[in-house]
Structure 1
Amino acid sequence: MAAHIFEQPLNERIRACLRLEYLFSRMAQHRLDDSPESALCAILILIEATDVLGRIDVKRELIKELERQQAKLLHMAHTPQVNAEKLHRLLDQQAQLLDQLHRFSGAPGAHLKQNELINAIRQRASIPGALCSFDLPALHYWLSLPASERQDDIEGWLAPLAPITEANELVVQLIRTSVQPAPQRAESGFFQLNLDLGAPYQLIRVIAERNAPYYPEISASKHRVTVRFMQMDRQTGHPYQVNFDVPFELAACQL
């Protein structure tokens, strides 16, 4: 059965990781398209990513999380049912990424703040319609360049962020796969789960049927998780809780 997965981070570190993952996933889609419109979207996403990188020390947070996960995996190495080959590959990957992050000089995204074109777009992007040709002729000149030249520029802007992107992907992947989802039922669209205060929960995942006419609203704290399944009036956009039982799966991820 096709599934639709909704996630709720439980701390600021994982919140930033998920936001970066979302932005770089969109970036990957636009890099598949060589149109000027996708090139502009790629720059706007890059600006958003640098804003996320600037709000917290992402490099430091990724180092902390990788080291924490590495310690957990090393502890699991003595468990009989662990796949030793897969574990060693993960530990090697973590060690390589930690080395790259420790050698990463400066703040992630700082190189983009030295680019006058990107700075001009950043300053105008929040103004409605302010990226048109008479506002930013330099942008429209750049968009008129051959697609290969635009792609080269974008690749050059992204390249210094590769260690951050790769470390972020691994951190999120390991958290997501740390537990198997368990079947649950939301009675009249409502579900609540008390959490073990001693467990290091980081992410809540709710898996629903993809084509179902409802979606979950998730709220979570260190004490409990609450899920309400909602429908939407598509004419007004108004959400309302369903009045029937909803089967779903839930994973309270911790590593």
Structure 2
Amino acid sequence: MTELTYEQPLNEKTRSYLRLEYLADQLEFNFENDHQHACFFPLFSLWELCERCDYRNDVIKEFDRQLCLLNKWRDLPDSDKPQIQQLVDKINLHRCQLIKSPRLGQALKNDRFLSAIRQRFSMPGASCSFDLPQLHFWLAKPWSERQHNYQVWCEHFRPLLEAVKLILELCRNTAQFQTQIAPSGFYQGESNQALALVRVRLEECNGCYPTVSGNRNRFAIHFVTFEHHKHTDQAIKFELAACR
């Protein structure tokens, strides 16, 4: 029996972090498998996102916020001080690595090969050998050599991606999954504390998927049948985690 987990961000910051995490997973997948020119799509997507947004400063600010919270929790009488200190050390390590890292993607601009093929990848079908003979030449190299090149290129983004994964891990750990029932395929929830992420775990045999909408204090879940693309009128059992 297959269980699927769906995640819906409730603010723009979490939405951006989930996109970065998705691209990080795509990069890691390409480290282990030879996907020819397809490996460049997540790399160039990540590069473009980092040019548009100042993720580094946003992540550093988020780390500062987390450190402030952890220091408050450490002062509580029943707190697990060793575990809190372990988290503080981990955050400080990633924060330091991010501060020391050069401007994201800047070093790749000096790579003539990447700069040349990047301009073409946004055009449908423009990665043919007659459009990009340099790409055709690179793809003919042994996989071990291309794999090393790919890892070097992706390494420039590693401090950011590892930091984002840590932030999302901390966010997901703020709530445990609890079983819920959605009468007539609809569920509504609310929270006195600001929420960042709604996670829904659902068995595939239900034949439907959730669509989530909301803001930091309330959210609504509609379950939609895959076959008919309509809201189901059946009671749906699922697991829910509302994360801060």
Match of 1:6 in 2: 6
CA RMSD of the aligned region, Å? 1.7
Q: Any stretches of 5+ residues in structure 1 without a counterpart? A: none
Match of 2:53 in 1: 56
Q: How many Å separate the matches in 1 of 2:51 and 2:45?
A: 10
1:229 aligns with 2:223: yes
Match of 1:139 in 2: 135
Which residue of the other structure, out of 105, 115, 118, is the alignment partner of 1:119?
115
Residue identity over aligned pairs, in percent, reads 35
1:75 positional shift: 1.5
1:208-237 alpha-carbon deviations (Å, 9 max, x no partner): 12443111011112342011111123xxxx
- 1:1-255 equivalent positions in 2, closer than 5 A: 2-33=2-33, 35=34, 38-106=35-103, 108-196=104-192, 199-233=193-227, 239-254=229-244
Residues 112, 211 of structure 1: alpha-carbon distance in 2 compared, 3 angstrom cutoff: farther
Letter in 1 for 2:240: L
CA contact (8 A) 1:192 1:224 kept: yes
Letter in 2 for 1:28: E
1:116 positional shift: 2.5
Aligned residue for 1:240, secondary structure, equals: coil
Q: Any stretches of 5+ residues in structure 2 without a counterpart? A: none
Q: How many Å separate the matches in 1 of 2:67 and 2:82?
A: 15
Residues 112, 39 of structure 1: alpha-carbon distance in 2 compared, 3 angstrom cutoff: farther
1:104 positional shift: 2.2
Aligned residue for 2:196, secondary structure, equals: strand
Q: How many Å separate the matches in 1 of 2:76 and 2:224?
A: 42
Aligned residue for 1:142, secondary structure, equals: helix
Aligned residue for 1:239, secondary structure, equals: coil
1:89-121 alpha-carbon deviations (Å, 9 max, x no partner): 211111111112222232x12222332222232
Q: How many Å separate the matches in 1 of 2:203 and 2:89?
A: 36
1:102-154 alpha-carbon deviations (Å, 9 max, x no partner): 22232x12222332222232222222211111111100100111111101111
* TM-score normalised by length of structure 2: 0.93
* TM-score normalised by length of structure 1: 0.89
1:81 positional shift: 4.8
1:185 positional shift: 1.4
Q: How many Å separate the matches in 1 of 2:223 and 2:113?
A: 44
